[in-house]
Amino acid sequence: MFHRSVSALRLGRLLACLSLLVCYHGIAQDNVAPVPKSLRVTHILGLQGLKENTNGTLTIQAQTLRFQPHDGIAAEIKVSSIQEVALGVQDKEVGGMPMAIGRVATPYEGGRVIALFAHKKYDIVTVKYRDSDGGFHGAIFQLNKGEAQVLKSELQAGGVPVIEGEKPAEKTKQAGQS
């Protein structure tokens, strides 16, 4: 009898502790602001004062889209100034210039075989925005495949219209032709 009451007491304490822990976790989540997701991206072009093809991280924090290059000063775009964000896909060669040179230098046309495996699809994010003077800007970022969806959901939450681009037809289309 005594043994059973002790085990019940232990179980009760354990349950109380667990419920406290769950409650505390909930309170802690309510008080702390959500940690902004940072994405590793490549700035293709468009941001003022930054070189083309710069690697860095992209975050959305306090209604600001912030690109922090690995070395150098960060560039910021206010979410309220963004007019539109477009998502697309491009295939690009991995390894950059050294890979391209190595591919060309490979004998017996071996570079062509390497090229088959040296390409990867990337998400391309185009941000259209206006500066304080009303001037139109466009910035293009390259993300790993699938990561653009993370950015899309965060921007949509901020009220930015996001359009998912279709892959353009692979043949020439003349203006004015039907």
Name the site residues for other proteins (rule: CB under 8 A): 44-46, 84, 86, 88, 90-93, 100, 103, 111-112, 115-116, 118-119, 124, 126, 128, 130-131, 133-140, 163, 165-177
| CA torsion through residues 62, 63, 69, 71, sign | negative
Is residue 44 within 8 Å of residue 141, measured between CB atoms? yes
Which one, 13 or 119, has the nearer CB to other proteins? 119
| CA torsion through residues 86, 87, 92, 97, sign | positive
d(CA 63, CA 76): 10
Which one, 34 or 176, has the nearer CB to other proteins? 176
**Minimum separation from the CB atom of position 107 to other proteins (A):** 16
Which one, 37 or 103, has the nearer CB to other proteins? 103
Is residue 86 within 8 Å of residue 165, measured between CB atoms? yes
**Minimum separation from the CB atom of position 54 to other proteins (A):** 14
